[in-house]
Chain A
Amino acid sequence: VLWLIGKRLLYSLPLIFIVSTLSFVLQSLVHGDIARTILGIRGTPEQYRSLRESLGLDEAAPVRYWHWLQGALHGDLGTSLFTQQSVAGLLNSRLPVTLSLVVGATLASAVIGIALGVASALRPGSVDTLMGGVGLVGLATPDFFLGLVLVTWLAVDLHLFPATGYVSPQQSAGQWLQSIALPVTVLTVGAVAVIARQTRESMRDVLERPFIKTLRAAGVRDRSVIFKHALRNAAIPVVTVLGLTFVGILSGTVVVESVFSIPGLGGTGVQATEQHDAPLVQGVVLYFTVIIVLVNLLIDLLYGWLDPRVRVS
């Protein structure tokens, strides 16, 4: 397993390099720079030139990228051009916030989605129809819209949850749970629909296979057939979708963190992009990429756990 992990991590290095390069190139194509953002309309051309020079923006883009890459290889992601804070320090403080949302939403969507999918596969009548309808609405509803609806209803009208902000679990576990409840719900709704649909299809396929009939003919209890044999066999495509869902939820934080004013990686990425804060944007992209690489690795390991044939291959 360790060899597999090492190999996968090694393979991911070119990916991280390509993504960071692309990110830098795309930023270079965007007109404007952070010196303009900081100075605003009041800045004189002399001040602008001076600030650009002090921020190192007068260097050619490839040179700046090379400097960034050198630093990154040594674990130094530079400093934010806007706030002059260490990028790594800033993002490390944001990471637990985003992980709270993403892990919470992934777990919730997995539990609810799989439960609904199994129920729907076993009873293709009204449960299936209901799930299809709810799933369609879930997929079609934009995160920002659902967020606004939930905030208006549950926070503003009923005062059940805070409208904005994040409380760390160290500060108060209850308030932490409360602060992530609405954002996690928003991120979960669409994901549930995807996972439930995949679970239903996989379960239906597996339930049609001869070994299920054999098990039932042998008198194995229904609960055991479904959860021990059918669900495990149906799980591999579901796990694949779960991995993709995680990535979708992670990207969804970009919007959701802005709607709920939560200080996570996504909101930081939006702000850094608006401010043309290149080192911070690079840092956010790098963190997102590494998270996705690690999740893919975890999915691969799960494959092996679920299916002995994968372990052998």
Chain B
Amino acid sequence: MRHGTLASPVLRRVRPLRVGVAAVVALATLAGCSSLSTTQSGAKTTTLTIAMQQAPPSLDPAQANNTFWNYFDLAYDPLIVMAPDGTFHPGLATSWSYGPNNESFSLKLRSQVRFSDGTAFDAAAVKTWINYALKYPGGAAPGYLGALTSIDVTGPLSLTMNFRSPTPNLPLVFSQLLEVGEIGSPKGITSKTLAKGTDGAGEYQLDPAQTVTNDHYTYVPNPHYWNQPAIQWKKVVIKVIANPNAALNALVTGQVQIAENLPITDASAAKSAGQKIVAPLALMMALDLFDANGKLVKALGDARVRQALNYAVDRNAIANLLGKGYGAPLGQMAIKGDDAYDPAIENQYAYNTARAKQLLAQAGYPNGFSFTALSWNQVQQDTMTEALAGQLAKIGVTLHPDIKSNIADVTSGFSSTNYPAAAISWGRLPAVFQYQLLWGPEAAQANPFRIKSPELDAIYDRLVRAPNSQSGAIAQEMMRYLMQQAWFIPVAATPLAVFYSPTVTNVNATQTRIQDYAVEVRPASSPA
């Protein structure tokens, strides 16, 4: 009899065990319920928790790697603050100006400012810092300030930087966006404490006692901060959550208030759970046609062929595929809001396979040709490359995607001259920097064949010397030339999405400033 079985002594002995297990689970649940609600209610008024997918290799802001912006922004005020509308405002510098030909740059600094170690912030400290950042292995400063020849300290709170060649866009360089102006303390440099701690003139400082490297980083108010009323939070925690799904769950359950750079594919799930999203277009998804001189693939040396490839791309289709409704077709190597963006050429290569075939035939490739493109299985590069391969096949061109899973393979592939083309997901920058980093002859990685054009160089030369009022027109001229030469196949602009809780506000990632700035974030109930 089954009933007899259930009444057996053995199972009667098991029952207390079941009850015990159930009790433990219930205890855990109850304990959890009470602690979770405490945390949630506390977070609304005292603690801001931000989920980042990665921890930085070092906390030293000299690396100026804006992949890790929150770790630095909290503890290091920049010399110049970039507002959400893209305009520049005083930070640790109260005013700034360019000298003739953009070959010098003068700054006046804020008085009564101290680093978190208590030492004074002044012109000498800025000079020490910039010289240190220029020597930092792998740091970004040399890329932006490579032409710097000297820094003259003209007063306790004023200095002038001198450059051997015109160096525009320094307000952007010294803003929180590019981080070179986030100044660390000279004392931190000499004591070599910046890699594992913070020592800046920012609102917060790292609390090592509440920090576990690679897991969570706790920032507490800096007692020496020059503008104490601006400090909003008693504690800001950056929680490292590599798994995007886990980060979304943490947001939905109130463990974090902001989750940075989650996949846009999670947008609908987040929205339906009552979360908010800002998703400015931030990345240019494109194919970089390295081999524009035709060394590896002769056909790519002909501008008509490169133009044909551009005509063969249905950008709307790929933008929808990649952006899930938050993306946009990309008709040039700039996004609306960038200085080089020219609305007149956005549809220059509107989808037209007949025109593409005609150009291929004129160039002597009526039956097409084949080439290989390096790609990466991250940031949707693989999806874009495969979609491109499908579309180019319609004009007889065979694109072989060589998709790597390891970033090291991708970077070494870029610096080799083994690939005629590569997929890129490139960030937005002024045209001067794009020239230096992406399409100019000295671009370290993205122009491995060192393709050079005297016309392009001449435009660049005018651009770097131009005053701010004229630079936009020249940057657009550069873009028109570049797209005429078709060194790239721009495909789609995709967003960097920030998901955040309705309990906070001022999560200002915008079309003109694509990264949010943690010190601006406020509780939703508080005035902005």
Residues of chain A having any CB pair with chain B under 8 Å: 31-33, 36-45, 47, 50-51, 54, 82-85, 90, 93, 108, 111-112, 115, 118-119, 122-123, 125-127, 148, 151-152, 155-156, 159-165, 172-175, 177-179, 181, 222-223, 226-227, 258-261, 263, 268, 271, 276
Judging by beta carbons under 8 Å apart, are B242 and A258 in contact?
yes
CA distance A255 to B346 in the complex (A): 46
CA distance A162 to B35 in the complex (A): 10
Residues of A contacting B407 in the complex (Cβ-Cβ under 8 angstroms): 32, 36-37, 40-41
CA distance A43 to B273 in the complex (A): 40
CA distance A161 to B34 in the complex (A): 10
With A32-B408, A36-B408, A126-B2 known as contacts, the answer to whether A119 contacts B138 (CB < 8 A) is no
Kindly report which residue of chain B lies nearest to residue A155, judged by CB atoms: B253
Please, could you name 27 A-B residue pairs with CB atoms under 8 Å apart, sorted by A? A32-B406, A32-B412, A36-B412, A42-B444, A51-B137, A54-B137, A82-B57, A83-B58, A93-B212, A112-B21, A115-B17, A122-B10, A151-B246, A159-B36, A160-B32, A160-B33, A161-B28, A161-B29, A162-B255, A163-B246, A163-B250, A163-B255, A165-B239, A222-B9, A223-B9, A261-B241, A271-B242
CA distance A34 to B386 in the complex (A): 29
Kindly report which residue of chain B lies nearest to residue A151, judged by CB atoms: B249
The proximity string for B residues 9-26 relative to A, scoring 1 for CB distances below 8 Å and 0 otherwise, is 111011001000100110
Residues of B contacting A258 in the complex (Cβ-Cβ under 8 angstroms): 242-243, 246
What's the minimum C-beta distance from A291 to chain B, rounded to whole angstroms? Answer: 20
Judging by beta carbons under 8 Å apart, are A175 and B246 in contact?
no
Judging by beta carbons under 8 Å apart, are A41 and B445 in contact?
yes
Residues of A contacting B215 in the complex (Cβ-Cβ under 8 angstroms): 263
Residues of B contacting A47 in the complex (Cβ-Cβ under 8 angstroms): 137-138
Residue picked from A112, A177, A258, most chain B C-beta under 10 Å:
A177
What's the minimum C-beta distance from A225 to chain B, rounded to whole angstroms? Answer: 10
Q: Which of B39-74 contact A (CB under 8 A)?
A: 55, 57-58, 65, 67
Judging by beta carbons under 8 Å apart, are A41 and B410 in contact?
yes
Residues of A contacting B57 in the complex (Cβ-Cβ under 8 angstroms): 38, 82-84
CA distance A74 to B497 in the complex (A): 48
Name the 8 nearest CB pairs between A and B, nearest first: A32-B408, A174-B31, A178-B32, A163-B249, A263-B215, A36-B408, A177-B28, A175-B35
Residues of A contacting B58 in the complex (Cβ-Cβ under 8 angstroms): 83-84
What's the minimum C-beta distance from B297 to chain A, rounded to whole angstroms? Answer: 22
What's the minimum C-beta distance from A51 to chain B, rounded to whole angstroms? Answer: 5
With A32-B409, A148-B245 known as contacts, the answer to whether A163 contacts B253 (CB < 8 A) is yes
What's the minimum C-beta distance from A97 to chain B, rounded to whole angstroms? Answer: 9
The proximity string for B residues 133-144 relative to A, scoring 1 for CB distances below 8 Å and 0 otherwise, is 000011010010
Residues of B contacting A259 in the complex (Cβ-Cβ under 8 angstroms): 243, 246
What's the minimum C-beta distance from B38 to chain A, rounded to whole angstroms? Answer: 9
Chain A CB within 8 A of B526 CB: no
CA distance A77 to B415 in the complex (A): 34
Chain A CB within 8 A of B298 CB: no
Judging by beta carbons under 8 Å apart, are A223 and B13 in contact?
yes
Chain A CB within 8 A of B213 CB: yes
Partner of B249, one of A38, A39, A152: A152
Q: What 12 new A-B contacts, CB under 8 Å, besides A93-B212, A125-B2, A271-B242?
A: A32-B407, A32-B408, A41-B414, A41-B446, A42-B140, A82-B57, A83-B214, A112-B21, A123-B5, A156-B253, A159-B253, A178-B32
Residues of A contacting B437 in the complex (Cβ-Cβ under 8 angstroms): 42
Partner of A163, one of B17, B252, B409, B444: B252
What's the minimum C-beta distance from B373 to chain A, rounded to whole angstroms? Answer: 16
With A93-B212, A263-B215 known as contacts, the answer to whether A115 contacts B28 (CB < 8 A) is no
Judging by beta carbons under 8 Å apart, are A118 and B10 in contact?
yes
Partner of A162, one of B36, B55, B410: B36
Judging by beta carbons under 8 Å apart, are A119 and B10 in contact?
yes
Q: Which of B383-430 contact A (CB under 8 A)?
A: 406-412, 414-415
CA distance A268 to B242 in the complex (A): 11
Judging by beta carbons under 8 Å apart, are A164 and B32 in contact?
no
Kindly report which residue of chain A lies nearest to residue B253, judged by CB atoms: A163
CA distance A148 to B243 in the complex (A): 11
Partner of A261, one of B13, B21, B140, B243: B243
Residues of B contacting A181 in the complex (Cβ-Cβ under 8 angstroms): 25, 28-29, 32
The DSSP consensus for interface residues of chain B is helix
Residues of B contacting A268 in the complex (Cβ-Cβ under 8 angstroms): 214
Residues of B contacting A82 in the complex (Cβ-Cβ under 8 angstroms): 57
Judging by beta carbons under 8 Å apart, are A85 and B196 in contact?
yes
Residues of B contacting A119 in the complex (Cβ-Cβ under 8 angstroms): 10-11, 14
With A83-B214, A119-B10, A122-B10 known as contacts, the answer to whether A31 contacts B409 (CB < 8 A) is yes
Judging by beta carbons under 8 Å apart, are A31 and B408 in contact?
yes
CA distance A177 to B24 in the complex (A): 9
Partner of A85, one of B21, B213, B241: B213
Kindly report which residue of chain B lies nearest to residue A227, judged by CB atoms: B13
Kindly report which residue of chain B lies nearest to residue A116, judged by CB atoms: B14
CA distance A36 to B138 in the complex (A): 10
Judging by beta carbons under 8 Å apart, are A122 and B8 in contact?
yes
What's the minimum C-beta distance from B104 to chain A, rounded to whole angstroms? Answer: 26
Residues of A contacting B363 in the complex (Cβ-Cβ under 8 angstroms): none
What's the minimum C-beta distance from A190 to chain B, rounded to whole angstroms? Answer: 17
Residues of B contacting A163 in the complex (Cβ-Cβ under 8 angstroms): 246, 249-250, 252-253, 255
Judging by beta carbons under 8 Å apart, are B409 and A38 in contact?
no
Judging by beta carbons under 8 Å apart, are A160 and B13 in contact?
no
CA distance A127 to B65 in the complex (A): 59
Residues of B contacting A40 in the complex (Cβ-Cβ under 8 angstroms): 65, 67, 407, 411
Judging by beta carbons under 8 Å apart, are B11 and A175 in contact?
no
Judging by beta carbons under 8 Å apart, are A174 and B34 in contact?
yes
Residues of A contacting B13 in the complex (Cβ-Cβ under 8 angstroms): 223, 227
CA distance A160 to B143 in the complex (A): 50
Residue picked from A119, A156, A163, most chain B C-beta under 10 Å:
A163
Chain A CB within 8 A of B147 CB: no
Partner of A178, one of B35, B67, B445, B446: B35
What's the minimum C-beta distance from B449 to chain A, rounded to whole angstroms? Answer: 15
